[in-house]
Amino acid sequence: MGMAADSEFHVLAVDDSIIDRKVIERLLKTSSYQVTTVDSGSKALEFLGLREDDGINPNTPSVSPNNHREVEVNLVITDYCMPGMTDYGLLKKIKESSSLKNIPVVIMSSENVPSRISRCLEEGAEEFLLKPVKLSDLKKLRPHMLRTKIKSHNGKQEPEELGMPDEKIGFPSPKQEEQQQQQPQSKNNKRKAMEEDVSPERTRPRLNGITTMV
Amino acid sequence: MDLFQLQRRLVDYRASLYHEDFLDEQFSQLQDLQDENNPDFVVEVVTLFFEDSERLLNELAKALEQPIIDFKRVDAHVHQFKGSSSSIGAQRVQKACIAFRNYCEEQNVEGCLKCLQQLRHEYSLVKTKLESMFQLEQQILSAGGSIPM
């Protein structure tokens, strides 16, 4: 399997602050991602091709014919708190949608509130980044986007079952992997508050051992 | 002043801004994002910050003039201001916002008014300094030199 070029990845960034949109756009472009920025949760859903009332009934198509999603979005990075949509609102809507739930979502917030962080992770966010976001923070995004690419290569599979032939060979056990992953994070102030209050098992509810791809 | 002196002046001026906490690490993160393909990135972000800040200061003044003050609204504006100042690395402005939010929580009108004054003051200081810095950069570029890192 060849390495996916980063410019193949398209990130949707959502933030109501014009300054933050400009900065996150530059950060993402510097990391060689394609970027679309929107200023609200509802615009994000529109861009993703989801009407706000969609996704609950599996019998109705979750993509509105009028809002055909032309571009594939590999990751959504959103501010936690924006006017117009309740907290976690966008995250929940994405995770409740049959067509969008596998898109990784990353939450950004200016406030380091452990309960907020755990709640976001429980609701399905892949990462919680403390603002102001740095270039080094964006390195955490790539594994999540790669996972979705693998998934689409392997047909319909949940992200937890990657179906890689060498999945179990040469990899540390899931517990160890989490620990290894935790160590760099424990030096990172951004996760520190969360780690003090939340057990490792709860921080990565969907992690199943493979976090990086070579 | 020759090019070398201009460049030296800029380096010293920048250092003083960091030293006096007008700017912090986040500002240099923004500078790192600027390159030949995006040569005006910092000026553009800072300009957006100036515009947004002026809007927020007006909103704050209006909100605090009301006969019955909506502290939640005041706090929301300060929260926004805190966010934007943090995003560009304007540390003293950010700190002024933190103090301001405490008074909002206490619903302390006097305190809020004092904080607004302080916030205006810090904002105007950092604005002046950033503008001076950009002017120096422009002088260097016009003299055919490059901006020292």
How many contacts does A have with B, using Cβ atoms within 8 A? 46
Looking at chain A, which residue has its C-alpha nearest residue B84?
A: A19
Å from B10 to nearest chain A CA?
Answer: 24
Backbone φ and ψ of B103, nearest 5°: -70, -30
Would you give the DSSP letter of residue B35?
Answer: B
Å from B49 to nearest chain A CA?
Answer: 6
Looking at chain A, which residue has its C-alpha nearest residue B83?
A: A110
Q: How far is CA A6 from the centre of its chain?
A: 16
Number of domains composing chain B: 1
Confidence of residue A147 (pLDDT cuts 50, 70, 90): confident
Q: How many angstroms separate the CA atoms of B57 and B80, rounded?
A: 11
Confidence of residue A184 (pLDDT cuts 50, 70, 90): very low
Q: Is residue B148 part of a domain?
A: no
- Mean predicted confidence (pLDDT) in B103-112: 97
Q: Is residue B149 part of a domain?
A: no
Would you say the pTM of this structure is higher than 0.80? no
* Domain span including residue B50: 3-142
Q: Is residue B86 part of a domain?
A: yes
Inter-CA distances, A13 with A24, A76, B35, Å: 7, 6, 22
With CB atoms and an 8 Å threshold, state whether B41 touches A26.
yes
Among partner residues B29, B38, B52, which is closest to A134 by beta-carbon distance? Answer: B29
Confidence of residue A83 (pLDDT cuts 50, 70, 90): confident
Percent above pLDDT 90 for chain B: 97
Å from B2 to nearest chain A CA?
Answer: 34
Among partner residues A18, A26, A131, which is closest to B52 by beta-carbon distance? Answer: A18
Backbone φ and ψ of A64, nearest 5°: -70, 135
pLDDT of A129 over the 60 cut: yes
Q: Is residue B147 part of a domain?
A: no
CATH number, position B136: 1.20.120.160
For residue A90, the one-letter residue type is L
**What is the per-residue pLDDT across B44-103, written as a single tens digit (0 to 9) for each?**
999 999 999 999 999 999 999 999 999 999 999 999 999 999 999 999 999 999 999 999
pLDDT at position A25, please? 98
Among A129, A66, A140, A64, which residue's Cα sits nearest to residue A100? A64
Two structure tokens written together for B10: 């800029």
**Chain A residues with CB-CB distance to B32 below 8 A:** 135
Q: Is residue B122 part of a domain?
A: yes
With CB atoms and an 8 Å threshold, state whether B52 touches A30.
no
Å from B111 to nearest chain A CA?
Answer: 23
**By CB neighbour count within 10 A (0-12 exposed, 13-18 middle, 19+ buried), where does B149 fall?**
exposed
pLDDT at position A134, please? 95
**What is the per-residue pLDDT across A16-59, written as a single tens digit (0 to 9) for each?**
999 999 999 999 999 999 999 999 999 999 999 986 554 444 45
pLDDT at position A85, please? 76
HEC profile for chain A?
Answer: CCCCCHHHCEEEEECCCHHHHHHHHHHHHHCCCEEEEECCHHHHHHHCCCCCCCCCCCCCCCCCHHHCCCCCCCEEEEECCECCECCCHHHHHHHHCCCCCCCCEEEEECCCCHHHHHHHHHCCCCEEEECCCCHHHHHHHHHHHHHHHHHHHCCCCCCCCCCCCCCCCCCCCHHHHHHHHHHHHHHCHHHHHHHHHCCHHHHCCCCCCCCCCC
- Mean predicted confidence (pLDDT) in A149-169: 53
